[in-house]
Structure 1
Amino acid sequence: QGKGTMLDQYGRDLTKAAAEGAMDPLVGREDEIDRTIQILARRQKNNPVLIGEPGVGKTAIAEGLAQRIATGDIPDLLQGKRIIQLDLAMLLAGTKYRGEFEERLKNVIKEVLDSKRQIILMIDEI
């Protein structure tokens, strides 16, 4: 498998979608996006977790962050980062053998780690 194929296969590049204009503009989530940016910009404990009932706008916050990255309206530390939304259902689909899902997930995480901190992985509906 070539470089990036696991994330291409099981994820959606929100930053690319935002840059291509494939997302609706986000209104009214600036505070949550700003707080997420603050957390991502920390040296340690920089993994934001958005918790809430389905439909309250957690994904919209990630999409808004992707739009800010795409337009450059973001601190230097986050410039050029990619937000990849991992599709767990797709990752699980077609796994027949014990350990197959875990192997796929391990390969996805390896790809993220190999990106040298250029990828922000979003795991939705976990």
Structure 2
Amino acid sequence: EIARVIQILSRRTKNNPVLIGEPGVGKTAVAEGLAQRVAKGQVPDTLRGHRIVTLDIASMLAGTKYRGDFEERIKSVLKEVQ
């Protein structure tokens, strides 16, 4: 699965992999494995030097009363990772 994610990320277009599945099937392990390979430079040149971030949507939604609150949090995260 890690190799497949690397392959998708290396594309010029449609390069947004999504990991979905029941709890415990290994989604986090795939993401962590990808991060390890990036850190070790064991990825194609197009991915070298990039950083992997995790985003906990449940935490971002917690305490948001209005839609605008969540949008502001998303904007803040996007600003940070760019």
TM range (shorter): 0.7 to 0.9
State whether structure 2 residue 46 is matched by structure 1 residue 81.
no
Between the two proteins, what is the percent identity of the paired residues? 73
> 1:58 matched to which residue of 2?
27
Q: Which has the higher strand share?
A: 1
> RMSD in angstroms over aligned alpha carbons?
1.5
* Structure 1 counterpart SS, 2:73: helix
Q: CA deviation at 1:94?
A: 3.0
Any stretches of 5+ residues in structure 2 without a counterpart?
none
TM-score by length of 2: 0.86
Deviates more, 1:103-112 or 1:43-52: 103-112
| Larger RCO, structures 1/2 (Cα 8 Å, 6+ apart) | 1
Task: Report the counterpart of residue 101 of structure 1 in structure 2.
Answer: 70
Q: Which has the higher helix share?
A: 2
- Taking the TM superposition and a 5 Å limit, the aligned residue runs for 1:1-126 are 32-112=1-81, 115=82
Tell me: CA distance 1:96–1:39, structure 2 relative to 1, closer, same or farther (3 Å).
same
Q: State TM-score, norm by structure 1.
A: 0.59
Residue 87 of structure 1 aligns with an amino acid whose one-letter code is D
- For structure 1, the 5+ residue unaligned runs are 1-31, 116-126
User: Number of aligned pairs?
Assistant: 82
Classify 1:100/1:42 alpha carbon distance in 2 versus 1 (closer, same or farther; 3 Å): same
Deviation at 1:72? 1.0
